Amino acid sequence: MANPLAWQGDFDGYQAIVFLHERGYFSVLLVRPTADTACKDLRHEAAFEAACRAIPGLATWTDSDRARPVTGVLPGGPLRNAYRGQRGIAGQPAVPGLVSVGDAVATTTPTFGRGLATAFLQCRQLLALLEVDGDPCLVGEPFDAWCEDNMLPWVRDHIDMDGDLVRRWQGGDVDLSRRLPSDLILSATAVDPRIGQASPGYLSMRAMPSCLDPVEPLARAVYQSGWRPPYSPGPTRDELVDIIRSALTEDGTAPPVATSHRTVGS
């Protein structure tokens, strides 16, 4: 596959994605802000299926004449962007011979499906260092330096995108007082095709997120003109909440009482 995303819908307050897998399997993902407790009830089967029927793109994929579910609804946890270098909390040098790789170094939300790519790039660099130095005890610090230059920018890129997306989901407008996040730069290609010249390197990770910097002024001009990315056809967030409540009422599923917990760790 050239792209595991078969379909994506961006809506007023949430997002829907269809991911392709092997042998005809696919998964439907509904993304909401963590603070949106009303949409948490999408974890109930009746609510989830009602949402799929109400969103045109998902209705096409999940039509009973075309597909059948093989699992129940699988609630996901909070999606985080995180970077962890090879040094300890106090900044002490890496433990000789112990090297963190993959998600243990860089974790990004699955918007662009970068998890495997970042892991493979790290493995390739680590093997290259081992071929040069030979001693596993000597690769921790140079690998850490490489990750800071080549992995950390992707985590920061996702932090900027996701934080701004949540802000816009909460009613905020495009913020022209700072650099546009990468998703908005790419979206502006619909108005100015010149912006798309920078997208292949960014999307394939053959170039760093900074490859979008030269076309950011072009995207900024698009938004300064008043254009905004259109929403996909489907219910708004408030309409989706009404759909969820109606589905649970008809199904007789009473939303569970909210609980809280505290985790303590060192």
User: In this structure, what DSSP letter does residue 109 have?
Assistant: -
Measured between alpha carbons, how far is residue 44 from residues 49, 51, 247 in Å? 9, 11, 9
Can you give the pLDDT at residue 78?
77
**Res. 202 pLDDT band, cuts 50 70 90:** very high
11, 27 in Cβ contact below 8 A? no
- The pLDDT of 145-169, averaged and rounded, is 95
pLDDT tens readout for residues 212-224:
999 999 999 999 9
The closest alpha carbon to 163, from 147, 148, 183, belongs to 183
Task: Write the burial class of residue 83 (CB in 10 Å: 0-12 exposed, 13-18 middle, 19+ buried).
Answer: middle
Domain boundaries, the chain: 5-78+232-251, 86-154, 174-227
**Res. 97 pLDDT band, cuts 50 70 90:** confident
Distance CA 156, CA 147 (A): 13
- The pLDDT of 167-182, averaged and rounded, is 94
Can you give the pLDDT at residue 87?
84
- The pLDDT of 170-195, averaged and rounded, is 96
The fraction of the chain above a pLDDT of 70, given in percent, is 94
**Res. 1 pLDDT band, cuts 50 70 90:** low
pLDDT tens readout for residues 12-34:
899 999 989 889 999 999 999 88
Can you give the pLDDT at residue 259?
37
Q: Are strands 5-10 and 82-83 parallel, antiparallel or unpaired?
A: unpaired
- Beta sheet of 5-10, edge-to-edge order: 5-10, 15-20, 26-31
Residue 8: enclosing H or E segment and its boundaries? strand 5-10
Q: 74 is written with which tokens?
A: 């699988």
Distance CA 42, CA 52 (A): 10
**Average pLDDT across the chain, whole number:** 89
pLDDT tens readout for residues 31-73:
998 889 999 999 999 999 999 999 999 999 999 999 999 999 9
Distance CA 116, CA 172 (A): 32
pTM over 0.75: yes
Can you give the pLDDT at residue 2?
65
Q: Which residue has the tokens 């662009």?
A: 112
Contacts of 62 (CB under 8 A, 6+ apart): 28, 49, 52, 53, 69
Can you give the pLDDT at residue 255?
54
Report the SS3 class of residue 58.
helix
pLDDT at 186 over 50: yes
